[in-house]
Amino acid sequence: MLDPKELKKTLNLPKTKFPMKASLPQREPQILKKWKDMNLYGKLREERRGRPKFILHDGPPYANGRIHLGHALNKILKDFVVKSYSMMGYDAPYVPGWDCHGLPIEIKVENQIGRLEDKVKFRRECKKYAEKFVRLQRDEFIRLGVLGEWENPYLTMDPDYEAEIVRHIKGFFQRGEVYRAKKPVYWCPHCKTALAEAEIEYHDHSSPSIYVKFPLKEPEKLAPELEGKKVFVVIWTTTPWTLPANLAIALHPEYDYGVYRDGDEYYIMARLLAPVVEEELGRQMELVHKFTGKEAEGMKAEHPFLDRESLIVLADYVTLEQGTGCVHTAPGHGEEDYQTGLKYGLEVLSPVDDEGRFTEEVPFLQGKTVWEANPIVLEILKEKGMLLHQGEITHSYPHCWRCKGPVIFRATPQWFISMDKKGLRKRALEEIKKVRWIPKWGEERIYNMIENRPDWCISRQRSWGVPIPVFYCKNCGEALTDPEVMENVARIFEREGSDSWFIHPPEYFIPEGTVCKKCGGKEFVKENDIVDVWFESGTSHAVLKNRQDHTWPADVYLEGNDQYRGWFHSSLLVALANEGESPYRQVITHGWVLDEKGRAMSKSMGNVIEPGEIIKDYGAEILRLWVAFLDYTEDVRLGENILQRLTEAYRKMRNTWRFMLGNLGDFSPERDAVPEEKLLPSDRYILTKFRRLAKRVKKLYENYQYYRIAHLIYDFFTVDLSSFYLDITKDRLYCSAEKAEERRAAQSAIFEMAKDSMRLLAPILSFTAEEAWEHLPEFPGKEPSVHLELFPEEKPPLLTSQEEEEWEVLLRYRDLANKALDEARKNGFIGNSLEAKLVFYAGGKDREILEKYQEHFLEIFIVSSWEIKEGEERVEVAKAEGKKCERCWVYHPDVGKDPEHPNLCPRCIAVVKEII
RNA sequence: GGGCCUAUAGCUCAGUCGGUUAGAGCGCACGCCUGAUAAGCGUGAGGCCGGUGGUUCAAGUCCACCUAGGCCCA
């Protein structure tokens, strides 16, 4: 007689070196090293050569700072796309890129080393800064398990790339879509430079607060009884110096306005603000006429001190918080004023020079700074009797971040791409309809933006970027925008980079014999402005044309939903204008990363989670699983609780693989695989379910529905595998003879599911699938990395539809049996379910089905004995007959009858005899 | 203020054309097992479907408004 210890040795218990504990933070770097050493990316390119292409074109992140969770979400999703399409059999190269030029880097560098007069030196520092963060971010992206051509990314500061930018600018000029016009920008009179929004600080500042009268022309048009009366539109302003540039007065179209009599004068203002003005003036006025803003549109007023008209216009931004509801509008001195000016075709006046001094356009102020001009304007207004009231106000006012002095809005010449001159807007709107937008509301969103956007101002008064390749005639100032000259510049940039612009004189770029078309001048000066960085990144589609292994247009762009305004937008315009069509066929967007409560992460809220922390504490795989489980088309949340859930889900999947691998320890697919027709019913059932799952998963990968995949596979692992199939087949796997056909049958099913689930999950659980793949038994054609594999080919279901219905009945009875067994356990009647005998009550067809499968009930219900009786559907629990077999723990009446093995059941005696 | 979007159990997700008592997995509680063991199995409790009003015989689902949140713009 064998004692329990010896008996245990006769069992086929799971055995694998695949560890239960993942230790992801330590293990992942080893797997990354394997991929690097074997040149996985290069090998994949080789293996897929000649296959149809699938191009995901990477939107370049900005080379500034470490990566945050938004980057992680984005790059992991891209990795899902690229890896899954690669496993579908496409040749799917992935070339990452970086956006390297632009203001944020200039600001950072300026903070570090100060402002250098030498632009070449300054740009060199900017370049170093960008290179540093490209390196850092690249390593962080690699750490996430993202596979790509990291050794050879595209950078917007590469000479080749800069040349493409110039060529695309050239294209816009060539088609006559570029024009030069004045536009107001923040301007620091002390530093004599334009400032970007990001360079503005707001501080309190004391300004005059004045009410000014504009005599209304033809007041009878507003109300007949006003004919011949002295009617004034009253405006309020804190910048009297901008009054010389006044061209309009804006009213809100919907607000109520009134004409108020004050002695023999009549004042127009918003009715809700009249009491405020009355209080300022210290006297009451009489309301003599009411009207709404839109009634006054197109009327004219006289400028209070210049011989000029001021048009009454309408604008939605007029508020009733301050002033009179009638807004002084100077298109050269304010962003909103400028927009309104565009709408009404007003001139952009800005009679102020670099130092903030008035030009000869305003003779009586010439040479005075805007600050000096304020009191002079007041004097004139008083003189002309146009100053209704004067006070002082302290308010928040924009200041220069460098010199801390107050800044002004000043119109300067800028380059614009026209949306309508050559039908760019119209063609863009048509092209949008041809693209597949995921989610589909994206189409409406970008459509509305393109439909309503103003002309694109592409010039920036900065130095870290690509120059606009234009020259000006030294003699007459005319711009030289000759395409051939620009092509020459492109060729030079290709060779020397855009630094050359700041090194060489104009003659270096301009072919000999070039003369000014206007005056015949032969001497030129270079443009100082650089191009908007959105134009640069919008040129990235050229990467697809310049790399041999790519095709144009891209199949997919995939970015956060802020990029409807950003990269999707600029890419569409740049590519469409130059190539004639959209650079992408599909655009996928993902949401924002929020904290667990659904709020945006911000430093001030103190709720920021760094990807690095998660990788250190949990592993990049958990981050990948996070991305997989969420519906990324909406905003996604992350916090401790969610990480905890994900870690547990991860462990379950890992353990399921581990258990499968353990049971395949002695299995060689080539030698031991059992033909499908010899599989047991439960094997056929689970494989049918699994094959159906595999088919759905592949379809879902095609449609980028990762969270559905994750849920489906995870549910299959927990419900179908762990708690059903793998639980019920333990008896077969452990207790049957090692080479018994029923055991090999279960192993065959497990092998298929292990192998194919690893392949199906490889794009998501890239690290763990790889690790598990290494522990999977060898078979012919097994690739050294799971990422070189293809998705499993479709296999037919093994059950007929009738058999499937039979399984529904069996599983219904399994539920009943479990409830009954639980009841019995709670009563202390049994412990382990093998102590039980089940009595099934069934009738008709159900009874036939139970009888048909009853030889498998030990397996399906994990009980020692059973009986089927006629009756209403239910299951009862009795004690199993016989004694417990010490080897398989099943109760059997014959245990004790064999004198040699009195502690074993007949089956185990047979198995044991064979072994001994 | 405008454009677009979101809201179902503690968490992540289902919920078809409007149609029975709104589902799943995890987590939680209780129990079993000790041959997947820092595992495995079973049972159970969790829902004002963000709120209000409307359309309808019937609303998680359609409409309007509101609240909370997100991206972009002003």
Quick one: pLDDT at residue A483? 95
Strand partners, A911: none
Quick one: pLDDT at residue A1? 84
CA A519 – CA A576 distance, rounded (Å): 35
Q: What is the per-residue pLDDT across A417-464, written as a single tens digit (0 to 9) for each?
A: 999 999 999 999 999 999 999 999 999 999 999 998 989 999 998 899
Q: What is the per-residue pLDDT across A15-54, written as a single tens digit (0 to 9) for each?
A: 999 999 999 999 999 999 999 999 999 999 999 999 999 9
Q: Helix, strand or coil for residue A319? A: coil
Torsion sign across C-alpha atoms A856, A861, A865, A870: negative
Residue nearest to nucleotide B43 (CA to C1'): A822
Q: Residue A16: which nucleotide is closest by CA–C1'? A: B36
Where does the pLDDT of residue A296 fall: very low under 50, low under 70, confident under 90, or very high at 90 and above?
Answer: confident
Phi first, then psi: what are they for A436, rounded to 5°? -90, 115
Quick one: pLDDT at residue A846? 95
Q: What is the per-residue pLDDT across A138-194, written as a single tens digit (0 to 9) for each?
A: 999 999 999 999 999 999 999 999 999 999 999 999 999 999 998 988 888 888 878
A800-808 mean pLDDT: 94
| Residue A640 CB lies within 7 Å of the nucleic strand B | no
Q: What is the per-residue pLDDT across A835-849, written as a single tens digit (0 to 9) for each?
A: 999 999 999 999 999
| Residue A758 CB lies within 7 Å of the nucleic strand B | no
CA A81 – CA A558 distance, rounded (Å): 9
Residue nearest to nucleotide B27 (CA to C1'): A645
Quick one: pLDDT at residue A272? 87
A394-422 mean pLDDT: 89
Dig out the tokens for A738 from the structure: 């090692």
Nearest partner of A912 among A11, A220, A4, judged by Cα? A11
Quick one: pLDDT at residue A62? 96
Where does the pLDDT of residue A400 fall: very low under 50, low under 70, confident under 90, or very high at 90 and above?
Answer: confident
Q: How far is CA A716 from CA A654, A658, A690, in A?
A: 13, 15, 8
pTM of the prediction?
Answer: 0.92
CA A701 – CA A710 distance, rounded (Å): 11
Q: What is the per-residue pLDDT across A3-26, written as a single tens digit (0 to 9) for each?
A: 889 999 999 999 999 999 999 999
Q: Can you list the pairs that A124-132 forms with residues at least 24 positions away whose Cβ atoms lie under 8 Å?
A: A124/A499, A126/A101, A126/A464, A127/A100, A127/A157, A129/A63, A129/A64, A129/A105, A130/A63, A130/A64, A130/A98, A130/A100, A130/A101, A130/A105, A130/A155, A130/A157, A131/A63
CA A492 – CA A342 distance, rounded (Å): 38
| Residue A591 CB lies within 7 Å of the nucleic strand B | yes
Run of H or E residues at A883: strand A883-884
| Residue A322 CB lies within 7 Å of the nucleic strand B | no
| Residue A599 CB lies within 7 Å of the nucleic strand B | yes
Q: Are the CB atoms for A326 and A388 separated by under 8 Å?
A: no
CA A526 – CA A521 distance, rounded (Å): 14
| Residue A20 CB lies within 7 Å of the nucleic strand B | yes
Residue nearest to nucleotide B4 (CA to C1'): A445
Write down the ipTM of this complex: 0.96
Residues lying close to strand B (Cβ under 7 A), chosen from 607-636 of chain A, are 629-631, 634-636
| Residue A707 CB lies within 7 Å of the nucleic strand B | yes
Quick one: pLDDT at residue A194? 83
Quick one: pLDDT at residue A319? 81
- At residue A321, does pLDDT exceed 90? no
How many residues are there in chain A?
A: 916
CA A847 – CA A74 distance, rounded (Å): 55
Residues lying close to strand B (Cβ under 7 A), chosen from 455-494 of chain A, are none
- At residue A203, does pLDDT exceed 90? no
Residue nearest to nucleotide B38 (CA to C1'): A21
- At residue A502, does pLDDT exceed 80? yes
- At residue A816, does pLDDT exceed 90? yes
Q: How far is CA A657 from CA A198, A722, A768, A893, in A?
A: 52, 10, 10, 37
Residues lying close to strand B (Cβ under 7 A), chosen from 342-401 of chain A, are none
Nearest partner of A211 among A176, A189, A242, A238, judged by Cα? A238
A580-603 mean pLDDT: 94
Q: What single string gives the DSSP state of each residue in A672-736?
A: HPPPGGGS-HHHHHHHHHHHHHHHHHHHHHHTT-HHHHHHHHHHIIIIIIIIIIHHHTHHHHHHS
Quick one: pLDDT at residue A397? 87
A553-560 mean pLDDT: 97
Quick one: pLDDT at residue A222? 86
Quick one: pLDDT at residue A468? 97
Q: Mean pLDDT for chain A?
A: 94
- At residue A772, does pLDDT exceed 80? yes
CA A596 – CA A646 distance, rounded (Å): 14
* Residue A525: how many other CB atoms lie within 10 Å: 13
Q: What is the per-residue pLDDT across A702-751, written as a single tens digit (0 to 9) for each?
A: 999 999 999 999 999 999 999 999 999 999 999 999 999 999 999 999 99
- At residue A279, does pLDDT exceed 80? yes
| Residue A877 CB lies within 7 Å of the nucleic strand B | no
Chain B positions with an atom below 7 A of a protein C-beta are 1, 3-6, 10-14, 24-27, 31-44, 69-74
| Residue A720 CB lies within 7 Å of the nucleic strand B | no
Q: How far is CA A713 from CA A32, A385, A631, A760, in A?
A: 25, 81, 16, 9
Dig out the tokens for A65 from the structure: 């700072």
